[in-house]
C-alpha cells in the first residue's frame, strides 16, 4: 500500500448512524421484553450477537437491502425451507415478529468493526493447498467445458458437465452469492463471493471447499489475478479493498479506500486486467478509479481521477480503456487507463449495465453492446470512435447480455417489467432482434452462458421451481430442461479463463 489512512474511524470500522437508532433498541414489545434481548435470546446464536452473521446471514440494513420487510417477517414466522432457519410462529407472537423485523432493519447503535484482526480470525482452511489429490474424482471428457450454476433459491451451486449437459455434483454455498465466481488460471480452483463478505475457495477436482475467509461485512465482488496468485475483494462495508494470497486465502494487505483528503468510499467493483498485470477498481462515492498492482504481496495504488462518480464498468479487449457507467445514470465515460484521462463521453441514458457488456466484430470494427437498467434499449457502440451506432429497442430494461465468438447471435433478457419472461436473440451482423423467446410464461428468463465451443447455451428460469434450459446456439431450438432452484448465473470454465469476448469477466 502506498499511502497511510487518514480517517482512523474508517480503518475497518463502520459507524452506522448511532444517533438514529435508539428507538428500536429501547422499544418494548407487548410482553415487555426488550427487543434487543429478544434478538439475543432467539436469533444471536445463528446471526451473531451484533448481527454480523454466523451460521446464518448478517442481519444489517445494508445486507437486507434487497429483502422486503414483509418477506423478512415471513421468514421469521415460517422459516426458510431446506435451511437451519426454523419458523418462530409457535414461539413469538405477531407483535414480537414485527418488532424483531423492525429491529434488524435499523442500523446498530454501536460501531461495527471488520478490520485485519476480524478477517484473520474468520479464516478457515479445511485443506491447505497441496494436501488433496490432483486428479478429478469424477469423469468427464473435457474439464474445460464444465459449468458452475449458482442457485440462489436455496444457496447451492451445481457443477455441470458441459458436453453431456448433465449435473455432476451439487453443494451448499454461503448465503447470497453475488457476482461471477472467479476461476484460477488452470480451471481447478474457483472463488465465490457472498454479499455478506465471505470468499469461498472450492476445489472442483475434489469437490471440496478448501478455504474460506470473510473479507468484509457487505462485499461487492471479488477478482482473481491473471496469474492466479492473488484474490482481491471490493467492499461496501467497510470502505476497503482487501488482498489475499490465493493459495490459502491468507490476508496480505488491507487497503482503506479514501481520497487524498481522507474521505472514504464504497467500491463499485474490482476486476483483474490481465495484460496490465493489475486490478482495476472504481470508487462509488469518490470520482476516482484505481489501478492496483501487487509488489511484495502489498497493493500499490495508482489513482485516476474522473469528472464523474463511477458505477460498474467494462474494458476494451486490450484493457487500454475502461468504459464506466456514471452514477447519475445519464451517461457513460471512457477512461484511458495509461494516461488516466477521460477520452470520451457516451450518451447512455437509462443507467447502462456495463458489467454485462459484450463485444464482437461488426463490419471490420469492434463494437460493444450494453443493456440498460432504466430503459428498454440496448446500446451498440463503436469501440474505435466511441460513437453509439445503434440503439436497439427491447421489450423492457435488461440485466444481462451474452454471446460467444463462434455464435452469430447475442442474447439479451428483459429482466424488469411485464415482459420479464421474454428473451431477445439479436443477430450480431444485422444488429436486429431476430427472435423473442418466452420459455416459461410468467417466470423470469435471464442470464445466458455458452459452452466453450459456442454450440450450446444455458438460459436460467429464475424460479424456485426453475430450470436451466439448454438451447442449440445455431438453430435456437430447446434441447432439454434441467430442474434447478432459482438458478442465477452460469459460468463456463473455458470461457472464463480465456476471457471469451461474449461473456463477463
Q: Which residues are paired to 435 by β-bridges?
A: 425
Q: Is 118 in the site for ligand DHE (CB under 6 A)?
A: no
Does position 376 interact with ligand DHE (CB under 6 A)? The reply is no
423 vs 403: CA distance, rounded Å: 13
For residue 177, list its beta bridge partners: 194
Contact pick of 53, 57, 107, 180 for ligand DHE (by CB under 6 A): 180
Site string for ligand DHE, 13-42 (x = CB under 6 A): ------------------------------
Minimum CB–partner distance for residue 458 and ligand DHE (Å): 11
Q: Using alpha carbons only, give the angle 22, 27, 29 rounded to the nearest 5 degrees.
A: 160
Contact pick of 108, 352, 355, 398 for ligand DHE (by CB under 6 A): 355
What 3-state class would DSSP assign to 396?
A: coil
Compute the chain's Rg from CA coordinates.
23
According to the binding rule CB under 6 A, does residue 489 interact with ligand DHE?
yes
Q: Does 359 bind ligand DHE (CB under 6 A)?
A: no
* Least distance CB 227 / ligand DHE (angstroms): 18
Contacts of 121 (CB under 8 A, 6+ apart): none
**Shorter beta-carbon distance to ligand DHE: residue 372 or 428:** 372
Q: How many residues bind ligand DHE (CB under 6 A)?
A: 15
User: Is-contact 438 421, C-beta < 8 A?
Assistant: yes
DSSP run (H or E) holding 38: helix 35-42
Tell me which of 218, 264, 495, 504 binds ligand DHE, using CB under 6 A.
Answer: 504
* Residue 488 near ligand DHE by CB under 6 A: yes
Query: How far is residue 148's CA from residue 399's CA, in Å, rounded to a whole number?
Result: 20
Residue 398 touching ligand DHE (CB under 6 A): no
Select from 76-84, 112-120, 172-180, 464-472 the region that touches ligand DHE (CB under 6 A): 172-180
Residue 258 is a binding residue for ligand DHE (CB under 6 A): no
How are strands ordered across the β-sheet holding 466-472? 445-450, 456-461, 466-472, 478-484
- Residue 278's nearest CA partner among 300, 263, 262 is 300
Shortest reach from residue 71's CB to ligand DHE, in Å: 14
Which whole-number Å values give the CA distances from 153 to 107, 150, 178, 330, 364, in the listed order? Answer: 27, 9, 12, 33, 43
**Alpha carbons 399 and 273: distance in angstroms, whole number:** 23
For residue 15, whether the previous peptide bond is cis, meaning omega lies within 30 degrees of 0, is no
Binding part of the chain for ligand DHE, among 13-21, 83-91, 175-183, 451-459 by CB under 6 A, reads: 175-183
- Is 269 near ligand DHE (CB under 6 A)? yes
Give residues 190-249 in contact with ligand DHE (rule: CB under 6 A).
220-221
Q: Does 178 bind ligand DHE (CB under 6 A)?
A: yes
The least CB distance from residue 290 to ligand DHE, in Å, is 15
* Contacts to ligand DHE by CB under 6 A: 66, 152, 178-180, 220-221, 269, 312, 355, 399, 447, 488-489, 504
Amino acid at each position: 500500500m502506498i499511502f497511510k489512512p487518514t480517517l482512523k474511524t474508517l480503518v475497518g470500522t463502520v459507524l452506522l448512524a448511532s444517533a438514529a437508532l435508539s428507538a428500536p433498541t429501547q422499544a418494548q414489545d407487548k410482553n415487555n421484553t426488550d427487543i434487543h434481548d429478544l434478538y439475543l435470546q432467539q436469533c444471536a446464536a445463528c446471526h451473531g450477537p451484533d448481527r454480523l452473521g454466523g451460521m446464518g446471514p448478517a442481519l444489517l440494513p445494508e445486507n437486507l437491502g434487497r429483502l422486503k420487510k414483509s418477506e423478512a417477517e415471513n421468514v421469521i414466522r415460517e422459516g426458510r425451507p431446506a435451511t437451519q432457519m426454523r419458523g418462530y410462529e409457535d414461539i413469538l407472537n405477531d407483535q414480537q415478529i414485527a418488532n424483531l423485523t423492525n429491529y434488524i432493519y435499523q442500523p446498530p447503535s454501536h460501531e461495527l468493526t471488520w478490520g485485519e484482526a476480524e478477517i484473520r480470525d474468520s479464516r478457515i482452511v479445511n485443506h491447505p493447498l497441496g494436501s488433496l489429490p490432483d486428479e478429478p474424482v469424477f469423469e468427464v471428457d473435457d474439464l474445460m467445458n464444465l459449468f458452475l450454476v449458482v442457485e440462489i433459491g436455496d444457496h447451492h451451486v451445481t457443477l455441470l458437465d458441459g458436453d453431456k449437459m448433465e449435473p455432476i455434483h451439487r453443494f451448499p454455498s454461503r448465503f447470497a452469492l453475488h457476482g461471477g465466481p472467479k476461476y484460477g488460471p488452470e480451471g481447478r480452483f474457483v472463488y465465490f463471493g457472498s454479499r455478506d463478505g465471505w470468499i469461498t475457495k472450492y476445489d472442483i477436482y475434489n469437490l471440496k471447499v478448501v478455504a474460506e475467509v470473510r473479507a468484509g461485512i457487505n462485499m461487492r465482488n471479488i477478482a482473481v489475478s491473471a496469474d492466479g496468485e492473488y484474490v482481491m475483494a471490493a467492499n461496501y462495508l467497510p470502505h476497503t479493498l482487501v488482498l489475499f494470497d490465493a493459495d490459502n486465502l491468507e490476508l496480505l494487505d488491507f487497503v482503506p479506500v479514501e481520497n487524498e483528503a481522507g474521505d472514504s468510499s464504497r467500491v463499485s467493483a474490482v476486476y483483474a486486467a490481465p495484460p496490465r498485470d493489475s486490478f482495476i477498481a472504481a470508487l462509488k462515492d469518490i470520482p476516482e478509479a484505481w489501478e492496483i498492482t501487487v509488489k511484495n504481496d502489498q497493493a500499490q495504488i495508482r489513482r485516476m481521477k474522473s469528472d464523474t462518480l463511477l458505477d460498474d464498468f467494462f474494458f476494451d479487449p486490450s484493457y487500454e480503456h475502461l468504459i464506466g457507467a456514471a452514477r447519475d445514470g445519464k451517461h457513460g465515460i471512457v477512461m484511458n487507463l495509461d494516461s488516466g484521462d477521460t477520452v470520451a463521453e457516451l450518451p447512455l441514458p437509462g443507467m447502462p449495465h456495463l458489467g454485462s457488456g459484450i463485444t464482437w466484430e461488426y463490419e471490420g470494427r469492434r463494437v460493444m453492446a450494453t443493456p440498460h437498467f432504466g430503459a428498454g434499449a440496448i446500446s451498440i457502440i463503436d469501440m474505435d470512435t466511441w460513437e453509439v451506432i445503434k440503439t436497439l429497442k427491447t421489450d423492457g430494461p435488461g440485466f444481462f447480455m451474452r454471446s460467444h465468438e463462434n455464435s452469430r447471435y447475442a442474447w439479451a433478457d428483459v429482466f424488469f417489467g411485464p415482459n420479464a419472461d421474454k428473451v431477445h436473440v439479436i443477430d450480431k451482423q444485422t444488429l436486429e432482434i431476430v427472435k423473442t423467446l418466452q420459455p416459461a410464461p410468467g417466470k423470469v428468463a435471464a442470464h445466458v452462458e455458452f459452452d466453450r465451443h459456442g454450440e450450446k447455451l444455458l438460459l436460467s428460469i429464475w424460479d424456485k421451481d426453475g430450470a436451466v434450459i439448454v438451447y442449440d446456439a445455431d438453430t435456437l431450438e430447446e434441447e432439454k430442461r434441467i430442474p434447478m432452484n432459482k438458478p442465477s448465473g452460469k459460468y463456463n470454465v473455458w470461457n472464463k479463463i480465456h476471457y471469451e469476448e461474449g461473456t463477463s469477466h
